[in-house]
Amino acid sequence: MVKYRDGEKMLDALGLPLRRSMVRRLWHGGAMSLSKLAAPYELTLPAALKHLRVLEDSGIVKSHKRGRVRVCIYNPSALKELGGWLASHSAFWESSFDRFEAIINKKKKN
């Protein structure tokens, strides 16, 4: 089961057009190596790896090493769950609101 914390991470991850495009590539083209994933963009491998890590950390993408190749795979269930939450706009917004407000209030001087 995914938690609302992952919802936040997913929204952060999807906040960049480039990363959304990478997700689409994986969703469209199936599993592929990091190099192949990065190929259409004017990106060095380190940059592509950084973005992959953000996507992986959010749960939208999975990856594993097969020899010297990093195989990247789209994880449909992650966005399906995020979508479910947004559609019903319930648990996700409620709980993360409280967390965020707590931080903000601590920061303010009153």
Partner DNA sequence: CCTATACTTTACTTTATGGTAAAGTATCGG
Partner DNA sequence: CCGATACTTTACCATAAAGTAAAGTATAGG
Only one of the segments 3-11, 23-31, 63-71, 83-91 lies at the binding site for DNA (rule: CB under 7 A); that segment is 63-71
Quick one: 16 or 102, whose CB is closer to DNA?
Answer: 16
Residues in binding contact with a second copy, number by CB under 8 A: 37
Among 1, 28, 65, 106, binds DNA (CB under 7 A): 65
DSSP 18-84: HHHHHHHHHHHH-SEEHHHHHTTSS--HHHHHHHHHHHHHHTSEEEEEETTEEEEEE-HHHHHHHHH
User: Would you count residue 100 as binding DNA (CB under 7 A)?
Assistant: no
